[in-house]
Amino acid sequence: MKITIIGTGYVGLVTGACLAELGNDVFCLDLDEKKIAMLNSGGIPIHEPGLAEIVSRNRAIGRLRFSTDIEASVAHGQIQFIAVGTPPDEDGSADLQYVLAAARNIGKYMTDFKVIVDKSTVPVGTADRVSAAIQAELAARTPTAEALAFSVVSNPEFLKEGAAVEDFMRPDRIVIGCDDSSEGQQARTLMTQLYAPFNRNHERTYWMDVRSAEFTKYAANAMLATRISFMNELANLADKVGADIEAVRHGIGSDPRIGHSFLYAGCGYGGSCFPKDVQALERTARGYGQELLILRAVEQVNNNQKHVLGNKIVARFGEDLSGKHFALWGLAFKPNTDDMREASSRVLLRELLDRGASVAVHDPVAMAEAKRVLELDFATTPDVLARLHFCETQMAALQGADALAIVTEWKTYRSPDFELVRQHLKAPVIFDGRNLYEPTVMSEIGFEYYGIGRSVLTRK
């Protein structure tokens, strides 16, 4: 099938590459000329395991192409995926300017039936706005163009950064929302054909109306964010009452009604999805005169949680950290990505640097992106930025540090040479924001260890 992907960001690039891998002829459009030049020269603008190989293989055989030519992109695919960014607006709502611009371009150039697929995460009711934008462009052309048929479908993505290729190729569910018009039924036929390879073992597609599909994406992310904040709040209480949140996690996760996923206490969630989607769903509710009290609390708990590690460091070393030097392992908001959006590391670094400390940092993948983002974060305070040092190896970051803080649970940090860690640190002190290590073991080998919700266990 001929497919057009509008937007080569995280969702668009993964979607386009994976659909090409399945044998489709995929045209990826982006208006960023530098990004398209990078993709056409063999580069990849994001870090995602397995993606570079798929892009390279399918670009080489001609099943995947990248262009800035809008008219050609509309002409190419009978199915047009809109996968552009929907960043949060000032009031927390999703900014749909790029989605609606893509819709207008489709209306401006389409000459035959099109299925327009909202792949971007968009508020309930966006399909109606996309349809109206296309119809307005068609009406502005000719009476013949105004009569052109199309159908707008909602097909939200459920991709985890760091496992997006696997998630796309082996989905646990495919959600598609379409209407019951003749155009909608035609769209359903085409979408059924497109996703047929994923349904051979068993049916994974959940058909519903468009608004329910749009809502499903937000509801899923809101539920996962809620589980994380719930466990983080319990972890903070566990520190006070003398319980071990890891034992609690195992105890409640064994209940099949609860399960083990997304029950890990830590220093807060980040990334491009959970923070903005929780805000957008809250904003949607307020537009209908409803307050989502649970989600408001989820957001507040998460914002507070990003300060927990810094609070532990201040409690140990004092309010004034001038002259103190810390090592920080992990900058990306989660492992297997270089995404720094809403990363907990940014909050901790701000707190340490503003209190006068210097910090040496390491991340296996995100160093280049972190430099770019942190230079923007501290653009108005270059003297503060001068106390931030980027290290090529995780051990180099430890040299002479008063303590180590761990923010991202990369595999390379899970089993370090602790004797070497001790030798590099000024003092054997670890603040573990992801509970990678067992406190009793750390105490036995001579480390002063601070986890999240694990204060019941003995420290040196």
Neighbours of 223 (CB within 10 A): 12
Q: Can you tell me the distance from the alpha carbon of 214 to that of 223, in angstroms, rounded to the nearest whole number? A: 15
Q: Which residues contact 62 (CB under 8 A, 6 or more apart)?
A: none
Per the CB < 8 A criterion, the answer to whether 17 and 51 are in contact is yes
Contacts 24+ apart (CB under 8 A), 198-201: 198/171, 198/174, 199/174
State how far the alpha carbon of 54 is from the alpha carbons of 20, 27, 64, 332, 338, in Å: 8, 15, 10, 23, 19
Q: Can you tell me the distance from the alpha carbon of 280 to that of 142, in angstroms, rounded to the nearest whole number? A: 37
**In this structure, what DSSP letter does residue 94 have?**
B
Residues facing 2 on adjacent strands:
25
Helix (H, G, I), strand (E, B) or coil at 6: strand
**Looking at this protein, which amino acid is placed at residue 257?**
R
Per the CB < 8 A criterion, the answer to whether 447 and 364 are in contact is no
Among candidate residues 28, 178, 267, 273, the one labeled active-site is 273
Active site residue 178: no
Per the CB < 8 A criterion, the answer to whether 99 and 86 are in contact is yes
Write b or e for each residue in 80-111: b if 16 or more Cβ atoms lie within 10 A of its Cβ, otherwise e.
bbbbbbbebeeebbbebebbbebbbbbbbbbe
State the catalytic residues.
Answer: 273
